[in-house]
A and B are shown apart, each in its own frame.
Chain A
């Protein structure tokens, strides 16, 4: 078996890796945006609750969270399938980080522009959609790319709950062939390629939508 063969065999698991990553990113964006928007309300209790949420999910290791959800919850009568467990955990954790990134970016939107939009007669929702979000997303790009990279790099944990992504494939293959060095090297290369592809995609998107006077930090 050549190194090329190994790469090809493992690349099959890459489909799952990418799927888990994208689903995790999607869940994280949903959670992060929701929190960022809720944080703009002035209700003290809500603010406190959200601060607690971000603190908790930025403090507990993802692996521990995954074990709580996948191995712990069934004992409480809640059974969540492996893929969903993984995506849920990724979403909860990256959502907490993304919320902070969005909050920072939102705070950077000029107060004057929001007042101008209010003075024009725009409603709160309109101000969010037309003024705040387009600027926030652009300014949040570097932070978002970092966070998405983290999600990608957490995906190997999926093997612990039995999802057949790259890492699981690699482990079976290594047990069979005893050529762990080449196999894990191949895993590293595949991950790096996926990472590079993600970064390239984002750089292209960022360039495509770039606006003078509005860049990430």
Chain B
């Protein structure tokens, strides 16, 4: 058998552990990112002008700055102050904020495309704002954002590879370690790339099903970008 394949088999426990860490991080940030995104979206519709502005600034800042900077800030910047977070904690916090900002953007874009007379109608019926948000705005905005939100999940999977730069033992970190012991850099990294390719294919297939499932007449999303 090819020596390289033997290597992969030999290291497979390590690779699988890395893969588990990668998928765990992706799953967590996908969930917390949606929750955070909805929260930011709600704040961006607030009555209070300062709150609204502040939320927009916050979103814009995290969209405009690299994720790696946030991770480094927490991972290398906090310990001198006596705050020591694990790589996992840093990754979860950093990714959650970043993904939330993006998801909030998608929801805001979808909201801007909504027919606002519905909100007038709901107000006329006597609904409170939170009810309008929960019952009228959110269900539609979420549906319209499905392609963007699922694209973000793919992005999340890919972004987990960044966590290796703060020593989080993800899949790519393991592959990098293997490469530096067997010196088969090309083959090892290409193999890593193929694994990401396969995982993305799975997510895409799942996303297609979800899109079909949540589609409502008159609220079809316009395919993915």
Residues of A with Cβ closer than 8 Å to B? 55-56, 58-65, 67-68, 71-76, 100-101, 104, 143, 149, 152-157, 160, 167, 170-171, 174, 178-185, 187-188, 191-192, 195-196, 199
Are A68 and B69 within 8 A (Cβ)? no
| Interface window among B13-21, B44-52, B132-140, B178-186 | B178-186
CA distance A178 to B185 in the complex (A): 33
A-B contact pairs, 6 of them (CB 8 A): A67-B189, A71-B179, A74-B185, A76-B186, A104-B225, A152-B66
Instruction: Determine whether the beta carbon of A184 is less than 8 Å from that of B76.
Output: yes
Q: Chain A: which residue is nearest B81 at the CB level? A: A181
Q: Mark B23-63, 1 if CB is under 8 A from A, else 0.
A: 00000000000000000000000000000000000000101
Whether A160 touches B73, Cβ cut-off 8 Å, given contacts A67-B189, A72-B189, A167-B68, is: no
Q: How far is the CB of B169 from chain A (nearest CB, A)?
A: 15
Task: Please give the residue numbers on chain B whose beta carbons come within 8 Å of chain A beta carbons, in ascending order.
Answer: 61, 63-70, 72-73, 76-81, 154, 158-159, 161-162, 164-165, 172, 176, 179, 183-190, 192-193, 196-197, 200-201, 225
Which residues on A sit within 8 Å (CB–CB) of B162? 61, 63
A-B contact count (CB 8 A): 126
Given A61-B172, A67-B189, A72-B186, the answer on whether A188 and B69 have CB atoms closer than 8 Å is: yes
What residues of chain A lie closer than 8 Å to B159, measured between beta carbons? Answer: 61
Least CB distance, A167 to chain B, in whole angstroms:
7
Other-chain residue from B61, B183, B189, B201 in contact with A64 (beta carbon distance below 8 A): B189
Q: Which residue of B lies closest to A104 (CB)?
A: B225
A51 to B77, CA, bound (A): 43
Q: Is the CB of A184 within 8 A of B190?
A: no
Q: Check A183 against B77 for contact (C-beta < 8 Å).
A: yes
Q: Are B61 and A192 in contact (CB under 8 A)?
A: yes
Contacts of A100 in B (CB 8 A): 225
Q: Pick the residue among A58, A143, A156, A171 that contacts B66 (CB under 8 A).
A: A156
- Residues of chain A within 8 A of B201, CB atoms compared: 59
Q: How far is the CB of A86 from chain B (nearest CB, A)?
A: 14
- With A59-B197, A72-B185, A73-B186 as contacts: A184 and B72 at CB distance below 8 Å: yes
Known: A174-B76, A181-B80. A64 touches B193 (CB 8 A): yes
Chain B residues lying within 8 Å of A179, measured Cβ to Cβ, are 80
Query: A156-B69, A180-B72 given as contacts; is B196 within 8 A of A60 (CB)?
Result: yes
